[in-house]
Structure 1
């Protein structure tokens, strides 16, 4: 308990908020920024328990259901989240004694008004703490689907989809990778400062810096309390961005003076990267659907002093006549199911429905249709998503080629050699977590005929 703030109570509030539909990173960030005086250790504990409980939810529920007469789906939401976060600590956090986990959960149930459920919470958790290693998990050889779903905490419908698309070996690599912790990735803005200077500045502030794969200006950073306190971030020398997303600007390869339209730009990482590649010349029109999203882009433009990037509200599904056939390069990083970034946003896996999947494909095709009209003759369209769903990626790409005057163009001249493949020679790349050293991501490069 710090200054009247109980960290386990905060965890419960965050988990309930996520359960009601908030994004995990937003719920955690908002809670922590409300209590900025919390020590680094407490912030780390709250973040880890929230993320871990969410990541391992299916496995945790399986464990609870093995010992509780009341199944998880029949419990009151607060009791369910109290038990889930406690079981995560019992199974995955050696630093917290089992007795403390059980006691704190019981106290929290009482504080939330569930006095009569204290014996239930206490009984279930103490039995689990005692008998955790006796849980009988599904066997791989008896039921592959159930085994993969419970072991890697992935809904069965997604496991089935990937087994069909990628086979058993690659699917297991993808699932394992989603549960692997990795550092935050940054792009050093090397046209303004040398990467050596930037790395030194970060290390001087106690940040652990490691080279990221594939690109010489990308690094992983960890061991810091708050990115907003890092000099390199304040001065706009670094941008938080995954390597897969950085590859978009590499593939686009803009020239000084180009006119670029980024139709779904928020929070602006790709737009800023394009602006940097043009060294302050030309113009990048960074557009998104709402003022809120455009404000996110504006913040990044101002922090990085990106003089050739401008942000404006423009719905990508609505045709903008004034932009017809004007752009040298159009970037369409379209809204998607987000399966490629489940490792960073685990709640995505629990929110999937077949209907949502169909709606997303229609939305993507609408945006691609509008975006195609902005590309000047011989100009290029870069289509990207952060998913690993074939109907959103390869199938959309084929649909586009059949219906618009564009052809694919090889990505090999722009990619590091270790990413070259049969498909990159044709003009597209599907990055898979666990197979490649990045998030799941798709990029295709079209040239207008």
Structure 2
């Protein structure tokens, strides 16, 4: 199958069937053989089209009188893919993108070939005029940011509320940029300098992370990026692919060798294994999740990294366990959330997360926090974290805990408020929220 047609079909599965882009692209690349150049193009088109969907529709509306929502989904997706290539991929000749789109239409929607050809030819004729986005033509700067960076207005408001206008306007354009490829060195097996040398021998460029001593940003990746799990350094357990913001959560908890630690929502295990690493494979880490398949991921990762102090348990954190009352020295609650802080990695979240879903997540977070407070020993530490910028899931959850449990206190981790927020402005991090709570003795 032609690579652009494959991209269109993936986007249709994401848009119509609710498939997750990261899982769908992994499946496609696992089941099909494509040259490295074509693999890169496929991923570029899929993620680029998702990240810029509102802006691509804005451009299309200039040349299509019909309501875009009334177009056949196949036709609309073919047009989006073509316009993305025309405006964002300089190395692809515009005529090639048009011709290929007409051919894809011949396979998926033969009767629409003429319409698609006509729309795209008209877009080519007006490209010079259309490609300059005039922010000043909008009376509302949030609406302008929403269209240009394809982020729904309500999410733009959340970023303003969390970071303030100045920082939000710096962060929002970065949400469509490719995040850094960051790894956490597994210091149980190798030190950072030695691993850096081994990666450099493969032609990979390494830059030490500014926020965590075990972090390395990698570039000049070539085939390594899409086939990292086959690399001998990975299979030997020398590193984990992980964002620095995620590393910060385990560091903030500060587990010690003697501790009994609970990771309440542990899968797929990045933070769990980091806790074990910080504990130098001593003490005990109890890792919980509700799905066997996800617990297996933790076990496989722990085995690869040489970790022996993790016990996995299939447990629903929303169901209270009397036997866990005051049983843990430290607890990490990486709560399920709306994911608005990781839309660089999962761009479809911006279009699919609903108000009802957010309300249900807030209810679950509340239950998990209530149980975490009761599971914590007197004098113990609880770190609550999410990968969202929604204050209802972040600060307001912590404020409620402090109000309802007077024996819980907040530990200052940021000058900006009740918790710490990371962002792409912080050495390329995703947007995480984390707060550190102590239980009085």
Q: State the TM-score, normalized to the length of structure 2.
A: 0.94
Q: CA offsets, 1:107-131, max 9 Å, x none?
A: 101111x221100010111111221
Matched, 1:43 2:34: no
Task: Give the Cα separation in 2 of the matches to 1:356 and 1:272.
Answer: 29
1:410 maps to which of 404, 409, 412:
412
Q: CA offsets, 1:352-390, max 9 Å, x none?
A: 322222221111001111111211111111100011111
Structure 2 counterpart SS, 1:67? coil
Matched, 1:60 2:56: yes
Structure 1 counterpart SS, 2:126? helix
Q: CA offsets, 1:313-366, max 9 Å, x none?
A: 111111122222111111100001111111111111111322222221111001
Task: Give the Cα separation in 2 of the matches to 1:76 and 1:21.
Answer: 17
Task: Give the Cα separation in 2 of the matches to 1:301 and 1:164.
Answer: 38
Q: How does 1:40-439 map to 2 (within 5 A)?
A: 40-112=36-108, 114-135=109-130, 137=133, 139-140=135-136, 142-222=139-219, 223-225=221-223, 226-404=227-405, 405-411=407-413, 421-423=415-417, 428-434=419-425, 437-439=428-430
Structure 2 residues without counterparts, runs of 5 or longer? none
Task: Give the Cα separation in 1 of the matches to 2:156 and 2:49.
Answer: 20
Task: Give the Cα separation in 2 of the matches to 1:385 and 1:164.
Answer: 16
Q: CA offsets, 1:202-261, max 9 Å, x none?
A: 222232322222112101123142111222211111011111111111111111121111
Structure 1 counterpart SS, 2:62? helix
Q: Is the 8 A contact 1:211 1:219 kept in 2?
A: yes
Q: Is the 8 A contact 1:15 1:50 kept in 2?
A: yes
Q: Is the 8 A contact 2:263 2:288 kept in 1?
A: yes
Task: Give the Cα separation in 1 of the matches to 2:143 and 2:67.
Answer: 18
Task: Give the Cα separation in 1 of the matches to 2:378 and 2:125.
Answer: 69
Residue 138 of structure 1: CA displacement? 5.4
Residue 44 of structure 1: CA displacement? 0.4
Matched, 1:26 2:28: no
Structure 2 counterpart SS, 1:341? coil
Residue 51 of structure 1: CA displacement? 0.4
Q: CA offsets, 1:369-422, max 9 Å, x none?
A: 1111211111111100011111111111100111123111233xxxxxxxx525
Aligned CA-pair RMSD: 1.7
Task: Give the Cα separation in 1 of the matches to 2:277 and 2:45.
Answer: 38
Task: Give the Cα separation in 2 of the matches to 1:151 and 1:300.
Answer: 39
Q: Is the 8 A contact 1:187 1:218 kept in 2?
A: yes
Task: Give the Cα separation in 2 of the matches to 1:421 and 1:175.
Answer: 22
Closer/same/farther in 2, CA of residues 300 and 430 from structure 1, 3 Å limit: same
Q: Which stretch shows the higher mean deviation, 68-77 or 119-128?
A: 68-77
Q: Which stretch shows the higher mean deviation, 72-81 or 130-139?
A: 130-139
Q: CA offsets, 1:260-300, max 9 Å, x none?
A: 11000011011101101111111111111111211221221
Q: Is the 8 A contact 1:202 1:231 kept in 2?
A: no
Q: CA offsets, 1:414-435, max 9 Å, x none?
A: xxxxxx5254xxx621223336
Task: Give the Cα separation in 2 of the matches to 1:201 and 1:72.
Answer: 51
Task: Give the Cα separation in 2 of the matches to 1:279 and 1:399.
Answer: 35
Structure 2 counterpart SS, 1:376? strand
Q: Which stretch shows the higher mean deviation, 398-407 or 131-140?
A: 131-140
Q: Is the 8 A contact 1:267 1:297 kept in 2?
A: yes
Structure 1 counterpart SS, 2:348? helix
Aligned pair count? 432
Q: Is the 8 A contact 1:176 1:434 kept in 2?
A: no
Structure 1 residues without counterparts, runs of 5 or longer? 412-419
Q: Is the 8 A contact 1:261 1:327 kept in 2?
A: yes
Q: Is the 8 A contact 1:138 1:150 kept in 2?
A: no
Q: Is the 8 A contact 1:272 1:306 kept in 2?
A: yes
Q: Is the 8 A contact 2:329 2:376 kept in 1?
A: yes
Closer/same/farther in 2, CA of residues 174 and 200 from structure 1, 3 Å limit: same
Q: Which stretch shows the higher mean deviation, 145-154 or 157-166?
A: 157-166
Q: State the TM-score, normalized to the length of structure 1.
A: 0.92
